[in-house]
Amino acid sequence: MNDELRALYQEVIIDHGRHPRNFKKLDHPSYTQEGYNPLCGDRLTLYLRIADNKIIDASFEGQGCAISMAASSLMTERIKNMPVTEARQLFDAFQNLVTQPDPPKKIREYLGKLTVLGGVRDFPVRIKCATLPWHALNACLNNITKQIVSTE
Amino acid sequence: MNDELRALYQEVIIDHGRHPRNFKKLDHPSYTQEGYNPLCGDRLTLYLRIADNKIIDASFEGQGCAISMAASSLMTERIKNMPVTEARQLFDAFQNLVTQPDPPKKIREYLGKLTVLGGVRDFPVRIKCATLPWHALNACLNNITKQIVSTE
Amino acid sequence: MSLIDRSAEHSSLPFSKVDWPAIRRDFPLLTQQPYGKPLAYLDNAATTQKPNIVIDSVAHFYRFDNANVHRGVYQLSERATAAFEAARDKIKYFLNAPLREEIIFVRGATEAINLVAQSYARPRLKPFDEILISAMEHHSNIVPWQMVCKQTGAQLKVIPINDNGEIMLDSYRALLSEKTKIVAITHLSNALGSIPPVQKMITMAHAREIPVLLDGAQAAAHFKVDLQTLDCDFYTFSGHKIYGPTGVGMLYGKKSYLEAMEPYQGGGEMISRVSFESSDYNSLPYKFEAGTPNIAGVVGLAAALGYINTIGLDNIRQREQQLLNYATQALEQTAGLRIIGMAKHKASIISFVLDSAHPHDISTILDQQGVAIRAGHHCAMPLMTRFNVPATARASFSFYNNESDIEQLVQSLQLVNQIFSGKMGE
Amino acid sequence: MSLIDRSAEHSSLPFSKVDWPAIRRDFPLLTQQPYGKPLAYLDNAATTQKPNIVIDSVAHFYRFDNANVHRGVYQLSERATAAFEAARDKIKYFLNAPLREEIIFVRGATEAINLVAQSYARPRLKPFDEILISAMEHHSNIVPWQMVCKQTGAQLKVIPINDNGEIMLDSYRALLSEKTKIVAITHLSNALGSIPPVQKMITMAHAREIPVLLDGAQAAAHFKVDLQTLDCDFYTFSGHKIYGPTGVGMLYGKKSYLEAMEPYQGGGEMISRVSFESSDYNSLPYKFEAGTPNIAGVVGLAAALGYINTIGLDNIRQREQQLLNYATQALEQTAGLRIIGMAKHKASIISFVLDSAHPHDISTILDQQGVAIRAGHHCAMPLMTRFNVPATARASFSFYNNESDIEQLVQSLQLVNQIFSGKMGE
Ligand SMILES: Cc1ncc(COP(=O)(O)O)c(C=O)c1O
Ligand SMILES: Cc1ncc(COP(=O)(O)O)c(C=O)c1O
């Protein structure tokens, strides 16, 4: 097994892929967002409960590869109890991690455990797997903005 | 000018192409048949007057290249006063002339002046020009047969 | 093909005399070494690799014969036209089609099916008429029919398959009715490898005077297709899946159907006379070949069919059955592996799932071992639903594959199992 | 292109520095000698010859990168997909199109126009709505509209041209009305060489919110097309007429139009989810790219555009205007010759008739002298009617032609005159 593969399938990923955390439907979610990757058929639904501009709870359901399962699991773990504005920052940082050849140390430190997904960088077609839940998250956050705009 | 070209554009052809004989509409024709070559746009109408299974008169109108004009001119000249059955033979002989690499002497003698069109043999795309009026003739003759069949 | 007796064309060698390793060397792409490993190209159902003779004949066309067809009164154009029309004869021969004008050049199987859906079915369908397809069709043999259903109010009916991936003939019989206006089925499932009993199915449809379209996109490369025996009404395949160029394919249609159909596209070549008031359509096959065709593609396709004939489709079938059996046995011994699709009549396509890993992950790991397989829904999403899997991994074999390709596949799958059972250590 | 500075790509040489003889040597077909005479290939409006770089890039694709696109999770397929999608970017750049997803790969201009006629116009047209085309359209920009008129009861209206072969703008203005639902005009007449005032015509149509399709089948090879300046709503060209492979072309459509349109063909690639009940269409451009595309053709087309950019379209235009002027003068001095189409704005296409001989005879005799021209109606029969000729002879020049090609043409025409004036003797 070469280094790239080893970096991609780190133990944390295999573990979260196998035993995803927060893998359930949320009761009374404020936001529900489907994410779908037509290439491989990965499909997930992200549930968020949000109050006072803060993500109170997050969970997901669906089926997909180890990367997208682990990414969803790790993401939901991390964003719980996170202010919406920070979640946006986190989204940007994660995008940076998986698409930039050499993400800055600051970003990696900020992402913490999420950096295990950095290995997809060397697997262009797999980047979409890692970012699938994040795009679902982003869509939710954009909806919040719209609502705020429309209620102001 | 090479031999093939010289054989194709013999003086008789240039002459008949320029000054086609029987180039007119026939009054009260028994048969009228359009012939059309979509490749080059050659288009002609053949008129036949037939009585007692004999071609009493033949003429044509239309526009086309030297080969199709000359072929029409020479054909109408030849078939006038010809029994229908012989016209059929003539059609077959002409087909033989323009498609067979080495048409038998008997056929060439039978065709007489019409052999000047044999030069198209070396110009595959031009064969259709030479046979255009003949196919129109053939269509007329087939219609006669049908009528005979249907009136018997 | 240097090592096969050239004079044997059209009367291929006995199986035992075919030099398969030499044949493999006819395919230049197969020598590449991704990640420093030999390439085991096992995605032949997606597209096949091209022998030198195909690549060279396309290049030769451009270097020596390139001109537009059917229109020029000069040598070059006559030569291009002759090559183009000779290809039509070769296809007629290859499929034993009754008439050359029944062979229509298109982009591929997808376009051919759309052509039949729009030019044959659309003007004839009324609300509640039915189109019958099977549960294992490729999207290209589903969506065109859904579109025409939406346009006309007709309904799409689906012949079910059993757990082995075989057509359920009783259900088919029950589904055939006066409402059925066309039956469109695959001649070989790209996702399962199943070969449906098309001959029976055609006979049953014809008993009710229902025309049948066979989607031969996969079939044509794997076994001899005899259209006069099959007696189907439409047939199609794609050049790129039968060792030919991309962007070319063919539709066969019975003359009586094609003549009664409206043209599909309008343009140059397909008309005999145009005025602004109206146009007369050209005769077959040109009525359905609007615009400049893929001339070089057609020439390359003819070269591909010639190449196949040199090997012989019976030899190809026999070799591929060997590979299928070898791979099936080897895969069945792989821990946690389940083959999806165990039809009695199968060609060399195997879909499978692994307990330990998702097909997508399998495919990434295999790639790094030089093994190219397909992971996903194989453009057959409803079939995935039928087998209750999100996706499968699929290995599909050509005659140029060999036993070491299969060894490489199986060993790489063991690596997948190791990685996902956490037994890799550091 | 060995003799052109490679680094100059996208910033082409000044005109005086372009080595035209070296460029001609990039085209292997041009060295052949029909009937022992040098080949003067003057049928470039029918199809262009291919430079080595195009032929080689197609062969290279098959030898090294061949795989199906968009679906594989392995290196080879990623490489094929990258090459395919990079070609889309190159076309976007070549035409200065706003967005890459507005570029759709099709077989050629004919298919593109049919796509717009069926997917855009057909669902929107009501009886007595009008489609506006010009009197000098190619059949491919006539017949698709006639078909959709027949299907919907809409009417085809024709913008007249004057005796020089120029659009009559006043008539155009008068024809534009609330009934007009689309204007479809050529960007360069294949039969006359006229370049219509499309920029004005687009502005006039847009003032009434009527979309405009430009048929760029001829134009794209001859001068720079800037879609953002033109602001037309649809544009199309064919690869084979712009030094690229056969069987590939492109349709540009404004995103807002494309998004509102139904797909043209159904199949793999163009859907995002399929069930037997219904399917969701994929996003642009894939919604319009059903089935396996002409991958190698697309790659070859990108190579062709790269090649053109290296020479520079401004240089090409300048060189071709030289050839046009040279040929026009030489032909005008040929006894009994009349040029059909004397528009002020012309590209390097000349249609003519001779008093002494029919175009078909001209073409046969020229062929024997090594001169390849086109004789016939040029898929523009209504235009022949307009000029009251059954057919014309047409010489069309590419930048790789030269003054001796034109000499050869003119001398061969003199031979035609001799033969038909009976001055040949025996
Ligand atoms: C002006 C014009 N439009 C359309 C076409 C059709 O192009 P294609 O045959 O490549 O589809 C042509 C080519 O003959 C043309 O000259
Ligand atoms: C069974 C089947 N039908 C149709 C198609 C469509 O072929 P193409 O993409 O060449 O049009 C395919 C190829 O993917 C196939 O496997």
| pLDDT > 80? residue A148 | no
Phi, psi of C299 (to 5 degrees): -65, -45
Q: Nearest to residue D365, comparing CAs of B123, C259, C350, C371? A: B123
**Chain D partners within 8 Å of C376 (Cβ):** 71, 73
Q: CATH number of the domain that A73 lies in? A: 3.90.1010.10
Atom number of ligand 1 nearest to Cα D109: 11
| pLDDT > 90? residue C18 | yes
The residues in D 74-133 lying below 8 A from A, measured between CB atoms, are: 78
Confirm whether the ipTM is greater than 0.90.
Answer: yes
Q: How confident is the model at residue A4 (pLDDT cuts 50, 70, 90)?
A: confident
| pLDDT > 70? residue D11 | no
pLDDT in tens, C92-146: 999 999 999 999 999 999 999 999 999 999 999 999 999 999 999 999 999 999 9
**Chain D partners within 8 Å of B8 (Cβ):** 364
Least confidently predicted of C173-177, D17-21, D419-423: D419-423
Terminal Cα distance for chain D, rounded: 47
The number of residues making up chain D comes to: 426
Count of pairs with CB atoms under 8 A, one residue in C, one in D: 313
Handedness of CA D90, D96, D98, D104 (dihedral sign): negative
How much distance in Å is there from the Cα of C319 to the middle of ligand 2? Answer: 23
Q: Looking at B13-96, which runs of residues are DSSP E strands?
A: 31-37, 42-51, 54-63, 82-83
Structure tokens at A11: 């133990």
According to CATH, the topology of domain C56-309 is Aspartate Aminotransferase; domain 2 (3.40.640)
Determine the distance from the C-alpha atom of residue D318 to the mean position of all C-alpha atoms in its chain, rounded to a whole number: 19
Question: What SS3 state is found at C241?
Answer: helix
Query: Among residues of chain D, what percentage have pLDDT more than 70?
Result: 96
Instruction: Please tell me if residue D273 touches chain A, with a CB cutoff of 8 Å.
Output: yes
Q: Which residue of A has its CA nearest to C391?
A: A41
Q: Using CA atoms, how far apart are residues B120 and B142, in angstroms rounded to an integer?
A: 26
Task: Give the helix/strand (H/E) hosting C123.
Answer: helix C122-124
Q: Using CA atoms, how far apart are residues C24 and C403, in angstroms rounded to an integer?
A: 13
Q: Using CA atoms, how far apart are residues D183 and D203, in angstroms rounded to an integer?
A: 12
pLDDT for position B146: 59
Instruction: Please tell me if residue D283 touches chain A, with a CB cutoff of 8 Å.
Output: no
Least confidently predicted of A37-46, C161-170, D249-258: A37-46
How much distance in Å is there from the Cα of C235 to the middle of ligand 2? Answer: 13
Q: Please indicate whether residue C232 is annotated as part of the active site.
A: no
pLDDT in tens, D262-294: 999 999 888 888 888 888 898 999 999 999 999
Q: Which residues contact D372 (CB under 8 A, 6 or more apart)?
A: C67, C72, C74, C75, C76, C77, D34, D39, D40, D41, D42, D43, D366
pLDDT in tens, A76-114: 999 999 999 999 999 999 999 999 988 899 999 999 999
Least confidently predicted of C16-20, C195-199, D30-34, D378-382: D378-382
Phi, psi of C40 (to 5 degrees): -105, 95
Least confidently predicted of C77-91, C267-281, D234-248, D291-305: C267-281
pLDDT for position C11: 62
Q: How confident is the model at residue C340 (pLDDT cuts 50, 70, 90)?
A: very high
Q: How many angstroms away from the CA of A67 is the closest CA of chain C?
A: 8
Q: Nearest to residue C394, comparing CAs of C194, C152, C228? A: C194
pLDDT for position C421: 86
- Flag if C78 and B125 touch (Cβ within 8 Å): yes
Residue D98 CB–ligand 2 contact under 6 Å: no
| pLDDT > 50? residue C4 | no
Residue C140 CB–ligand 2 contact under 6 Å: yes
Atom number of ligand 2 nearest to Cα C108: 11
Which of B6, B40, B123 faces D391 most closely, judged by CB atoms? B40
Neighbours of B64 (CB within 10 A): 29
- DSSP H helical ranges for D241-343: 255-260, 295-311, 313-332
Determine the distance from the C-alpha atom of residue D310 to the mean position of all C-alpha atoms in its chain, rounded to a whole number: 20
| pLDDT > 80? residue A58 | yes
Instruction: Please tell me if residue B127 touches chain D, with a CB cutoff of 8 Å.
Output: no
pLDDT in tens, D339-367: 999 999 999 999 999 999 999 999 999 99
How much distance in Å is there from the Cα of C213 to the middle of ligand 2? Answer: 14
Residue C108 CB–ligand 2 contact under 6 Å: yes
Which of C73, C78, C272 faces B38 most closely, judged by CB atoms? C272
Phi, psi of A15 (to 5 degrees): -65, -50
**Chain D partners within 8 Å of C29 (Cβ):** 62-64, 66
Is residue B36 within 8 Å of residue B42, measured between CB atoms?
yes
Structure tokens at C340: 């999806």
pLDDT for position C414: 97
Q: Using CA atoms, how far apart are residues D93 and C69, in angstroms rounded to an integer?
A: 31
Question: What SS3 state is found at C61?
Answer: helix
Residue C193 CB–ligand 2 contact under 6 Å: no
pLDDT in tens, D103-146: 999 999 999 999 999 999 999 999 999 999 999 999 999 999 99
Residue C143 CB–ligand 2 contact under 6 Å: no
| pLDDT > 80? residue C343 | yes
Per DSSP, C277 falls in state S
Mutate to test the interface with A, among D73, D74, D273 (most CBs of A within 10 A): D73
Task: Give the helix/strand (H/E) hosting C250.
Answer: strand C249-253
| pLDDT > 90? residue A43 | no
**Chain A partners within 8 Å of C375 (Cβ):** 40
- DSSP per-residue string spanning C293-332: --HHHHHHHHHHHHHHHHH-HHHHHHHHHHHHHHHHHHHH
How much distance in Å is there from the Cα of D149 to the middle of ligand 2? Answer: 32
Atom number of ligand 2 nearest to Cα C379: 14
Chains touching chain A, criterion 3+ CB pairs below 8 Å: C, D
Mutate to test the interface with C, among A65, A121, A128 (most CBs of C within 10 A): A65
D293: burial class by Cβ within 10 Å (0-12, 13-18, 19+)?
Answer: buried
Q: Which CATH number fits domain C4-50+312-420: 2.60.40.1120, 3.30.460.10, 3.40.50.300, 3.90.1150.10?
A: 3.90.1150.10
Q: Using CA atoms, how far apart are residues C276 and C198, in angstroms rounded to an integer?
A: 46
Question: What SS3 state is found at A133?
Answer: helix
**Chain C partners within 8 Å of D114 (Cβ):** 265-267, 290
| pLDDT > 90? residue B43 | no
How many structural domains comprise chain A?
1
**Chain B partners within 8 Å of D365 (Cβ):** 5, 9
The residues in D 347-406 lying below 8 A from A, measured between CB atoms, are: none
How much distance in Å is there from the Cα of A102 to the middle of ligand 2? Answer: 40
pLDDT for position A130: 94
Residue C11 CB–ligand 1 contact under 6 Å: no
Across the range C213-230, mean pLDDT stands at 98
For chain D, what is the mean pLDDT? 95
Q: Using CA atoms, how far apart are residues D109 and C69, in angstroms rounded to an integer?
A: 16
Question: What SS3 state is found at C51?
Answer: coil
Q: Nearest to residue D108, comparing CAs of D230, D232, D245? A: D245
How much distance in Å is there from the Cα of D104 to the middle of ligand 1? Answer: 17
Domain span at A88: 3-150
Q: Nearest to residue D186, comparing CAs of D219, D158, D159, D211? A: D219
Say which ligand is closest to the CA of C186.
Answer: 2
pLDDT for position B68: 94
Residue C219 CB–ligand 2 contact under 6 Å: no
**Residue C337 bridge partners (DSSP):** C354
Q: Using CA atoms, how far apart are residues C147 and C4, in angstroms rounded to an integer?
A: 47
Distances (CA, A) of B8 to B13, B121, D59, D327, D386: 8, 9, 42, 28, 32
Residue with tokens 């780190």: A10
* Cis amide bond preceding B124, omega within 30: no
